[in-house]
Structure 1
Amino acid sequence: MNAFLIALLPVILIVALGQLLSTRRWIAPEAFRSIDRLSFLVLLPALIVRALANAEFDTAPWQMVITLIAAQCLMGVVALAAYGWPGIERPAIGTIIQSNVRWNTIIALSLGAALFGDEGVALVGLAAAVMIPAANVLSVYALTAHAERPPGVKPRPFLAMTRNPLVIACIIGITLAALHIDIPVALDETLRILASAAIATGLLSAGAGVDLKALGRAGVRTFVWSLIRLIGMPAIVLAIGLMIGLTGLPLAIALLCAATSTAPNSYVLARELGGDTTLAANLIAVQTLLAAITLPLTWALILWLGAA
């Protein structure tokens, strides 16, 4: 259980630091806006390219790939039930869809390394290779299609995806991995440094975007959709995985990836593409805290299944 807390505690602390910096006005809101833009255009793409380029596609268990992508798509469909929530606005629906399909790669990598060593890290990397592109495509489409826009302006989600830096980064990373092209050492180190910055800035921005008063007013909605995400994704992964014969360590890694909270960088994307930024930040914060409970429960399930 210590491995889960060690992986989650730094995330919680940095999110709290972002909230403190914003609340105390030690960093102006305009500065966070600039940080968000930098993350969206440079830092997050660097993280994605490096993660995907280093993935070993040739050894990917096909059952794990199918299970994870199917679970993401189904969770996106589940989020459409938000249309029935009283008084909900379109940007909030896009934000909930994004929350349902994204996952925290950093926590999954930490858990994979702590629990299963290099093999665990490799499998989480493979999961990232399929889940990051799927999450970005689904998120960009959902946020763009549900964003507020002037009357008469039609959404163009597919055009937006072709211009989105995160989607472009996914294409570059997958291409490099598929063609077995090694990133030059100097460039790889540059991407590593930028990727490290992406994690910190994403968490700080998420913390700065948390509106505690809004969290109190929208507590039920945030709590309900957080639980749906944290319980629903692993449940779908387990059902599909067992149905198609996914077992052992790949099943364990798939469940751990599915059980992590939504990605901190989802706040940045929500801001850039017209989502509900307050809801996005609140979902990140609530899920990060609740994951301290649901992740150990998922680990207990993995042990009961004999997958670890």
Structure 2
Amino acid sequence: MNAFISALIPVMAIVALGRFLGWRTVLPDDGWRAIERLAYIVLFPALIIRALANAPFETAPWKLALILIVAQCLLGAFGLLARAWPKITGPAVGSIIQSNVRWNTFVGLSIGGSIFGTEGLALVAIAAAAMIPTANILSVAALTSHAERTDLPKRNPAVELARNPLIIACVIGIALAATGVELPALVDETIDLLGAGTIALGLLAAGAGMDIAALGRAGTRTLVWSLVRLLGLPALTIAGALMLGLTGTPFAIAVICASVPTATSSYILARQLGGDAPLAANLIAMQTVLSIVTMPAIWFACLAAGLF
């Protein structure tokens, strides 16, 4: 069985388990959100610090970060074309743009780590440090500028960026790698134990937060923009990688990160910032299901073309 399929099946199985547990209300919705928050501010940073500190980088992966950021910005701008959709509202346009620029980090971590080990985890961490702040800035700008509400909370992107636990973790991890400082054995083991729970908890929370009933409400608009996201971001990423000469494992990780579906947290932000929250839920559900087909298809297409 191909390595990508072998990595994808456990991911989808855990997401499905999370959906089952959410359906059975093993935990209330607030409980799942708390788990997702814990993974984001504690467990994920621990994984990032350790992965980057021990990463066997031969060259600085700045091309990986640049390509993914540019691809996000371009696909976010493409989302403005949604304005031409018949009878579409401003909040819906904001939700579509957000869907175009967000990605499910935990799926990328699981697949990248499964196929490429420590180096894969470190490269996905670099991608996360680049893509998550970019997605947050673009999403907030899109949602607030297209919202029809006037009581929206104020957001300061610069302050949020400086406080982002993933950015802080990347700075620490890269500093350790650059200076050659090794973590003490007990500290390294403690961080390793924290990071070990990241992917499983993140995937379970993602599954629990997915609204399967949204598939029944999804129409042509949801299908079209889901395909734009699932195919468009990888296409832009591949084009950028070819232009900048990105090769090998970094190229493969860039494709993985661009191919995963949008983040489940986009529903919450759409609801908070005046976006079309039902449409956001529809896009999450549709993309999660479609990605089971699109992700392997993109991977095999790249292999057939000899890109990595």
Q: TM-score range by the shorter chain?
A: 0.7 to 0.9
For each residue in 1:102-158, what CA deviation from the matched residue of structure 2 results, as whole angstroms up to 9, or x when unmatched?
671221232335xxxxxxx63x34532531111121123234443688637543222
| Residue 110 in structure 1 maps to residue 114 in structure 2 | yes
Q: TM-score, normalised by structure 1?
A: 0.78
2:222/2:282 contact within 8 Å kept: yes
Q: TM-score, normalised by structure 2?
A: 0.78
Count of equivalent residues = 297
Which residue pairs with 1:304 in the alignment? 304
User: Which amino acid is the alignment partner of residue 199 of structure 1?
Assistant: I
Structure 2 CA distance for aligned equivalents of residues 281 and 203 of structure 1: 17
1:100/1:229 contact within 8 Å kept: no
Which residue pairs with 1:28 in the alignment? 28
Counterpart of 1:267 (choices 245, 264, 275) is 264
Counterpart of 1:141 (choices 137, 149, 166) is 137
Structure 2 CA distance for aligned equivalents of residues 72 and 272 of structure 1: 18
Which residue pairs with 2:99 in the alignment? 96
* Partner SS, residue 264 of structure 2: helix
- Which segment is superposed worse, 77-86 or 205-214? 77-86
* Partner SS, residue 183 of structure 1: coil
For each residue in 1:255-274, what CA deviation from the matched residue of structure 2 results, as whole angstroms up to 9, or x when unmatched?
34433x137xx335764794
Structure 2 CA distance for aligned equivalents of residues 155 and 62 of structure 1: 28
1:237–1:101 Cα change, 3 Å = farther
For each residue in 1:80-104, what CA deviation from the matched residue of structure 2 results, as whole angstroms up to 9, or x when unmatched?
4455551352762564144259671
Which residue pairs with 1:42 in the alignment? 42
For each residue in 1:263-286, what CA deviation from the matched residue of structure 2 results, as whole angstroms up to 9, or x when unmatched?
7xx335764794677666655554
User: Which amino acid is the alignment partner of residue 14 of structure 1?
Assistant: I
Which residue pairs with 2:89 in the alignment? 87
Percent of residue pairs identical: 43
- Which segment is superposed worse, 224-233 or 242-251? 242-251
Which residue pairs with 1:14 in the alignment? 14
Once the two structures are TM-superposed, the CA of residue 24 in structure 1 deviates from its matched residue by 1.9
- Which segment is superposed worse, 138-147 or 223-232? 138-147
Aligned 1:227-306 pairs, distance under 5 A:
227-247=227-247, 250-259=250-259, 261-262=260-261, 266-268=263-265, 271=268, 274=272, 283-306=283-306
Which residue pairs with 1:118 in the alignment? none
1:198–1:63 Cα change, 3 Å = closer
Aligned 1:151-300 pairs, distance under 5 A:
151=151, 153-247=153-247, 250-259=250-259, 261-262=260-261, 266-268=263-265, 271=268, 274=272, 283-300=283-300
1:218–1:258 Cα change, 3 Å = same
1:169–1:272 Cα change, 3 Å = farther
In the alignment, structure 1 segments of 5+ residues that lack a partner are: 114-120
- Which segment is superposed worse, 55-64 or 176-185? 55-64
In the alignment, structure 2 segments of 5+ residues that lack a partner are: none
Structure 2 CA distance for aligned equivalents of residues 152 and 230 of structure 1: 30
Structure 2 CA distance for aligned equivalents of residues 29 and 202 of structure 1: 14
Once the two structures are TM-superposed, the CA of residue 78 in structure 1 deviates from its matched residue by 3.0
2:76/2:98 contact within 8 Å kept: no
1:250–1:99 Cα change, 3 Å = closer
Structure 2 CA distance for aligned equivalents of residues 95 and 174 of structure 1: 29
Structure 2 CA distance for aligned equivalents of residues 181 and 81 of structure 1: 49
Once the two structures are TM-superposed, the CA of residue 252 in structure 1 deviates from its matched residue by 4.4
User: Which amino acid is the alignment partner of residue 134 of structure 1?
Assistant: A
Once the two structures are TM-superposed, the CA of residue 5 in structure 1 deviates from its matched residue by 2.5
1:5/1:292 contact within 8 Å kept: no
1:186–1:38 Cα change, 3 Å = same
Which residue pairs with 2:124 in the alignment? 128
1:44/1:195 contact within 8 Å kept: yes
Structure 2 CA distance for aligned equivalents of residues 292 and 71 of structure 1: 22
Structure 2 CA distance for aligned equivalents of residues 30 and 2 of structure 1: 38
2:72/2:100 contact within 8 Å kept: no
Structure 1 CA distance for aligned equivalents of residues 33 and 301 of structure 2: 41
Which residue pairs with 2:53 in the alignment? 53
- Which segment is superposed worse, 290-299 or 201-210? 290-299
